[in-house]
Amino acid sequence: MNSAVGNSQLIQKMNRLKVLNYIRRNPDTARPMIARETGLALSSITNITSYLLGIGLLTESGMEKADRVGRKGTLLRFCKNAYSLVCISFDPGHITIAYTNLEGNIEEKININSDNIQPRDAAELLIEKLLSLISRKGRGKILGIGIAISGLVLDGSRFVASTSLKWKEFDLKAILEKETGLPVFIENASLLKAVWYFCCDRQIYGSNMVLVDMMNGIGSCQYYNGEINRAMLGEIGHTTVENNGEPCFCGNRGCLEAMCSPQRIAKLYQGYTGNENADFDYVIEQFGKNEEAAKRAVEECAQYLGIGLANLVNICKPSVAAINMGSFEHLPEIIDIAEAEMRKRVYTALLEDFRIEKISVTYEQSVRGAAFSLCDRLFDISYPYNIVE
């Protein structure tokens, strides 16, 4: 193949993926709008969409309702049922496998008990369940596997550490790809929640926003100029907020998530009252009754959270911080106390248009974020095996 032909085919593939991804993000769009937004000629859009309709990745969804003279255009949308995905989430005590369509709608769910399980044992359990699922559904139907894990993920898919799981570096991607024959992508769980909130649910308040995830630790992710900022690792939970504070699984001391966790709130309360049987739920109950020891435990941890939020605002200058309540869903007051502390520590000019939104991202919504992110990977020009040629 000469270089001119090779370059022509590469450009054709790039344009096809450009159109497909635009329609994924903007469903029910007519060809003239696609041409305007992508900068491609209408004749090229016609050829590209015909190709994508032919391989089943697009479907027609009606006629546009435009207030203009002339023939109305046919609306196009991404065909979510053309293929399937497998979205896996790791949480303390359990692993969940979701078999979904391309938009993350769950068709089948498999739960695996993983109390105190080691990474290699977890991988063996996963392989057994995945091979059974692939056998039943058909390998050709499944485009890829996406894994959400609460922890540090580097280099696109290299899992490094998870405080909530008590796992250190483990090459889960390579093991699963070898055994299943499917592409595997590992992502930070907080990032996938941000993908759902800012990209799937279109909660657009500005060009610079952050999501802070309080589930299984404290993670964060930035949405900047229309995209998730993948360069931001989001490990706000492992920033130091107390010089000689509580020890953290990461090996440091005084990390934010060590100083502001349900376990520490319970530990502080036990120390104040001598009630060694008090757990986090009990402290919440006593806080609701305005008990002094419960208030003191919550306020101390909330102040550390406020320091962490202040650092995030001072560095990123977001217009909105969407806080996924997660483990603190039944203690929303902790955010109010933390916000008051944050506002004492942040440059006043950075708070002029800033606000906090309390949200609760469900498991199903996280899976939608995982599916969206997985499709971003599978339909990217850098991925060599995608089905768009």
Band the pLDDT of 389: cuts 50, 70, 90: confident
Contacts of 228 (CB under 8 A, 6+ apart): 191, 194, 195, 198, 199, 221, 222
Name the helix (H) or strand (E) containing 324. Answer: strand 320-324
Res 216 pLDDT > 60: yes
Confidence (pLDDT) at 201: 78
Cβ contact 101:84 at 8 Å: yes
What is the CATH superfamily name and number for domain 196-361? ATPase, nucleotide binding domain (3.30.420.40)
Confidence (pLDDT) at 167: 85
Confidence (pLDDT) at 70: 59
Q: Which of 88, 112, 106 lies closest to 176, judged by CA? A: 88
User: What are the beta bridge partners of residue 315?
Assistant: none
% of residues, the chain, pLDDT over 70: 97
Band the pLDDT of 71: cuts 50, 70, 90: low
Cβ contact 358:331 at 8 Å: no
Q: What confidence tens digit (pLDDT) does each residue in 128-139 have?
A: 999 999 999 999
The C-alpha atoms of residue 14 and residue 133 are separated, in whole angstroms, by: 32
The C-alpha atoms of residue 137 and residue 212 are separated, in whole angstroms, by: 36
84-192+365-378 has which fold? Answer: Nucleotidyltransferase; domain 5 (3.30.420)
Res 233 pLDDT > 80: yes
The C-alpha atoms of residue 338 and residue 301 are separated, in whole angstroms, by: 9
What single letter denotes the amino acid at residue 56? G
The C-alpha atoms of residue 218 and residue 304 are separated, in whole angstroms, by: 12
Confidence (pLDDT) at 69: 57
Listed range (34-38, 227-231, 304-308, 332-336) with the worst mean pLDDT: 227-231
Residue bearing the bigger pLDDT, 66 or 387: 387
Confidence (pLDDT) at 234: 84
Confidence (pLDDT) at 65: 76
Confidence (pLDDT) at 67: 64
Using CB atoms within 10 A of its CB, is residue 116 exposed (0-12), middle (13-18) or buried (19+)? exposed
pTM of the model: 0.90
Q: What confidence tens digit (pLDDT) does each residue in 81-106 have?
A: 999 999 999 988 899 999 999 999 99
Pairing of strands 84-91, 219-224: unpaired
Please provide residue 328's backbone torsions phi and psi, each rounded to the nearest 5 degrees. Answer: -105, 20
Res 2 pLDDT > 60: no
The C-alpha atoms of residue 303 and residue 157 are separated, in whole angstroms, by: 34
CB-based contacts of 138-142 (< 8 A; 24+ apart in sequence): 139/181, 139/182, 141/83, 141/84, 142/83, 142/84, 142/85, 142/86, 142/182
Apex 309 CA angle, 308 and 310, nearest 5: 90
Q: What confidence tens digit (pLDDT) does each residue in 235-245 have?
A: 899 999 999 99
Confidence (pLDDT) at 3: 58
Band the pLDDT of 368: cuts 50, 70, 90: very high
Confidence (pLDDT) at 5: 54
Dig out the tokens for 78 from the structure.
């991404």
Contacts of 90 (CB under 8 A, 6+ apart): 114, 122, 147, 148, 149, 150, 162, 165, 189
Dig out the tokens for 372 from the structure.
């969206």
Band the pLDDT of 218: cuts 50, 70, 90: very high
CA atoms in the 13 A half-sphere facing the CB of 108: 12
Give the sheet arrangement for strand 152-154, strand by strand: 152-154, 158-162, 167-168
Confidence (pLDDT) at 334: 97
Q: What confidence tens digit (pLDDT) does each residue in 169-186 have?
A: 888 999 999 999 999 999
Confidence (pLDDT) at 126: 93
Average pLDDT over the chain, rounded to an integer: 91
Cα 116 from chain centroid (whole Å): 24
Domain with CATH 3.30.420.40 in the chain: 84-192+365-378, 196-361
The CATH code that applies to domain 3-78 is 1.10.10.10
Name the helix (H) or strand (E) containing 280. Answer: helix 280-288
Q: What confidence tens digit (pLDDT) does each residue in 325-350 have?
A: 999 999 999 999 999 999 999 999 99
Handedness of CA 145, 148, 152, 156 (dihedral sign): positive
Confidence (pLDDT) at 85: 97
Res 4 pLDDT > 60: no
Of how many residues is the chain composed?
Answer: 389
Dig out the tokens for 362 from the structure.
């469900």
Band the pLDDT of 8: cuts 50, 70, 90: confident
Cβ contact 237:248 at 8 Å: no
The C-alpha atoms of residue 325 and residue 327 are separated, in whole angstroms, by: 6
Band the pLDDT of 116: cuts 50, 70, 90: confident
Apex 308 CA angle, 94 and 373, nearest 5: 45
Q: What confidence tens digit (pLDDT) does each residue in 47-64 have?
A: 999 999 999 999 998 887
Domain with CATH 1.10.10.10 in the chain: 3-78
